Structure 1
């Protein structure tokens, strides 16, 4: 089992391709590409962690649309660390966990990494090599020494 992280997918948001210079002619094309990229790396036994902004815009209020995207996500477990654009419809999806903050054991030393939608200055075990994974800022701030922007706009529409 592997653990994967991705943020700021903004499924269904018509303006995100233009605002974030995503190379798509439509939001449907963007959604298909994001899902395809997830399926390339996230295996059937893996965990997928999303530090916020799963869906946004008018389509994010459409229960059928949001459920349809969620049902296409790969992995055995899907976790949401809530972002500023995660609506009630997104919060009602059958995530394995939902919170504003999470600590996840991962990596070769099984370190306790911190997930939050927003970049932070410090976090639990930051001085002991623990990483912080965040989104929210899209391509405006990539990362620092031990904090990593896992937003799709920084990762080339991929996941880590």
Structure 2
């Protein structure tokens, strides 16, 4: 285990002190700020175990916050960019391929397409890298289609 030692600059300490006033009592960000302010070597650092006990958190959390601050600095508090559904590669092109497949005869003389077979076929045709049967079902529902062409789902 690596020991991360924090030496906050006066500017970092001032910024963290300002943020400490802004966050609500049970905010995870406030806990991170308290961990950092109490981990500063300039002010007599506490051990991770002692600090965790005082703040009512785990030793792992104290160690993780110290590590993240050593690696990222104040950027630790920057908003994280999260992927949304719209970032995924399921678009009208995928829907069109799915509809074309559903209108074809199912393989092996089956009476109707199965979701897994449709998903596998879309990957086989390199329309998508991966698609779950749940997503295939959502696309069919979205387009008001069933697993057989020409018959709206009821």
With the shorter chain as reference, the TM-score category is under 0.3
Higher strand fraction: Structure 1 or Structure 2?
Answer: 1
Larger radius of gyration: 2
TM-score normalised according to structure 2 size: 0.22
Higher helix fraction: Structure 1 or Structure 2?
Answer: 2
